[in-house]
Amino acid sequence: MSFIMSSLGKADKQVLTEILQRRFALLNDIEKVKKELKETEEEIIQIDRGKTIEKDQLRHGIKKFNNHPTAGIDFLVEVGRLERTPHNIAKFLFETSSLNKTSLGIYLGDGNDFAIEVLNEFGQLHDFTGQSLDVALRRFLISFRLPGEAQKIDRMMECFASRYCDCNQNVFQNRDTCYILSFAIIMMNTSLHNPSVKEKPTAEQFISMNRGVNNGEDLPEQMLRNLFEGIKQEPFKIPQEDTVDNTFFNPDLEGWLLKQGGRYKTWKKRWFVLVGNCLYYFEYPSVSCFITHSISEAPFADYFKSQTFQF
């Protein structure tokens, strides 16, 4: 190099020096790029690890929820995968398809104030605009498993009626009408598609049973007839992964019994539905108003009646 440099002129030496300087600068830039690439690769690895941890935490939380709903929500909040707000939890319940529908019903049906707020937010996530009542009710009931307790069912049906009326403000005069008619639809579904009900109700009976429910006025007959035909042609579906019998779709036992009145001690024929340790009774198999009692053994004072029991 020294020989070559000595044989070069002044101008050539200047050019060669500039070339060497550019070479060294380029090598430094290459090293910087290599270092940045390595740092970026390490960051990507850390992000991937974080995403894997998040996915594992989410899967574990869902598994916990399916076995014990409250514990699952608590876990997801604790690890930061979920915010403990009614809207955030309702959105998670609404959008996560791998949640067990029975566990969903258990959580949404809880009677504490926070769970009720979650239920109301959950209802707001449904859009029933322009849908007939039976179609909207199908969509609502397929999103979770309706629990067996009467108070839980009552809260859920009130939530549905409220949301349906918000989406369809000119259908019913008030939410109570929607609430009553929704129960009538569920009971009509049972009567039409349960093999144990031998005498199937007619459209005329369904219309007659729902007279005056619209704030004392009758609903359009064609609306009721369309609801009846829709239920008759297609029974309500139960979420597929759940096998536990549903209160109104597949009761443990159902049939006619005689019931003594509370104020007037007369015996009247009523339709009874048994689910677990809860006994529901109706004026008719498809009527919307019902009362429930928990069954417990108690002596009955009327010895003139055989095969009787007391709530």
3 state SS of 254: strand
How far apart are the C-alpha atoms of 163 and 159, rounded to whole Å? 6
Beta bridge partners of 293: 279
Residue 226 CB burial class (10 angstroms; 0-12, 13-18, ≥19): middle
The side-by-side arrangement of strands in the sheet containing 278-282 is 253-260, 267-275, 278-282, 291-294
How many Å from the N-terminal Cα to the C-terminal Cα in the chain? 111
Looking at the annotation, which residues are catalytic? 149
d(CA 171, CA 180): 14
CB environment 235-253: b (16+ within 10 A), e (fewer):
ebebbeebeeebbbbebee
How far apart, in Å, are the Cα atoms of 172 and each of 137, 154, 161?
15, 19, 10
Question: CA-to-CA distance for 166 and 163, rounded, in angstroms?
Answer: 5
Cα 63 off chain centre by: 17
The tokens for 4 are 């070559």
Distance CA 61, CA 73 (A): 7
List of residues 6+ apart from 16 with CB closer than 8 A: 5, 8
